[in-house]
Chain A
Amino acid sequence: MENKELQQLLENQKYSFKPYFSDRVMAGLEAMPGKLENSFEKALDFLFPKLSFGSMAVVALLLAGTYISTGNLDLDSITGVYSLENQWYETDYFDLF
């Protein structure tokens, strides 16, 4: 037998799996822990950097707004209690009694 003849015979030795092989693989992956689908953890990994930068920017803007309107950044100003205190003093609730 010549090498060329052998090579031709070997080139025909291609095979394929039974039909729906890829579906069986995907089912196998679904069944294993830490599966492939768009899991909550994967989505979180993807979204976390985007969300965290956006959130930091919003927090910075809110703090800047608070500082501009109240002139300081103490806890009362941040939580909004500062303006309620002013309202309390301005209203004479004792008249009710």
Chain B
Amino acid sequence: MKDFDDNILLAKIKNGDSAAFKHIVGKYESKVATVIRNMLGNTSEVDDVGQEVFIRLYKSLDKYRGEAALGTYITRIAMNLSLNEIKKRKRKRWIPFTRKDSADAWDIEDKSADLSRLDDKDLVQRAILRLKENYRAIIVLRMIEGYSVKETAELLKIPQGTVLSRQSRATEQLKQILENKMSYRHGE
């Protein structure tokens, strides 16, 4: 089934072929993992949100009209669910006695972690997580996933000019954070 294109797979899914849907999951899972992991960090929710992305995709297949590529459609679901998860975390911070995890855990770790032991990938991930979520989303879509300005604007439902201005600010902030982390690491 590897050579089937998305439209053939979607037609098979509509006829109840579960193997075709499993193929779609296999085809796009790394894209979804990249979006969610870079948005949320290395947390226990990543796998759950990933599963939710594909369950939402399955539920909404009847509404999918093929205006955007399937990969873009899946990325939009992944990004929306990641942003929802971030909002949920923010709400949790205001509720006393709830488990403080995820991004908070990264913050605490970052202050005490031995940065010299981290590889570049982990270091960059920590730097990305220091950005505000709207900047983080731009970095993930534009610079990691390689979407164009137009595609990114459509995915996030913001004007193209906003994408460009946010990208410029996000890039500057990310560079600054990374330079600090790297100089700290080399200084040790």
- Considering the chains assembled together, what is the distance between the CA atoms of A25 and B51 in angstroms? 5
Stretch at the interface among A36-44, A52-60, A80-88: A36-44
Task: List the interface of chain B (C-beta within 8 A of A).
Answer: 13, 15-18, 21-22, 25-26, 29-30, 32-34, 37-38, 46-47, 50-51, 54-55, 58, 120-121, 124-125, 128, 139, 143-144, 171, 174-175, 178-179
Q: In the complex, what residues of B have CB within 8 A of residue A32's CB? A: 55
Decide if A29 touches B29 in the complex (CB within 8 Å).
no
The residue in chain A whose Cβ has the minimal distance to the Cβ of B18 is A36
Chain A interface secondary structure, helix, strand, loop or mixed? helix
- Considering the chains assembled together, what is the distance between the CA atoms of A22 and B178 in angstroms? 34
Stretch at the interface among A6-14, A61-69, A89-97: A6-14
Decide if A3 touches B30 in the complex (CB within 8 Å).
no
B121 partner, pick from A13, A16, A18, beta carbons under 8 A? A13
Known: A11-B144, A21-B33, A21-B47. 6 other contacts (CB 8 A): A13-B124, A16-B30, A25-B51, A28-B51, A36-B18, A39-B16
Q: In the complex, what residues of B have CB within 8 A of residue A29's CB? A: 18, 21, 54-55, 58
Q: In the complex, what residues of B have CB within 8 A of residue A11's CB? A: 144
Q: In the complex, what residues of A have CB within 8 A of residue B120's CB? A: 9, 12
Task: List the interface of chain A (C-beta within 8 A of B).
Answer: 1, 3, 6-7, 9-18, 21-22, 24-26, 28-29, 32, 36-39, 42-43, 46
Decide if B124 touches A22 in the complex (CB within 8 Å).
no
Question: Which of A11, A13, A28, A42 counts the most chain B CB atoms within 10 A?
Answer: A13
- Considering the chains assembled together, what is the distance between the CA atoms of A3 and B31 in angstroms? 23
Q: In the complex, what residues of B have CB within 8 A of residue A13's CB? A: 34, 38, 121, 124-125, 128, 144
Top 10 nearest A-B pairs (CB, nearest first) are A15-B37, A42-B16, A22-B25, A38-B16, A15-B33, A10-B143, A25-B54, A1-B175, A36-B18, A17-B33
Q: In the complex, what residues of A have CB within 8 A of residue B47's CB? A: 17-18, 21, 24
Decide if A46 touches B16 in the complex (CB within 8 Å).
yes
Q: Can you list 6 A-B pairs, Cβ within 8 angstroms, ordered by A?
A: A6-B174, A11-B144, A22-B25, A22-B29, A39-B16, A42-B15
Decide if B34 touches A1 in the complex (CB within 8 Å).
no
Q: In the complex, what residues of A have CB within 8 A of residue B25's CB? A: 21-22, 25-26
Decide if A36 touches B21 in the complex (CB within 8 Å).
yes
- Considering the chains assembled together, what is the distance between the CA atoms of A13 and B18 in angstroms? 31
- Considering the chains assembled together, what is the distance between the CA atoms of A22 and B24 in angstroms? 9
Decide if B54 touches A1 in the complex (CB within 8 Å).
no
A6-B178, A9-B124, A29-B21 are known contacts. Are A16 and B16 too (CB-CB below 8 A)? no
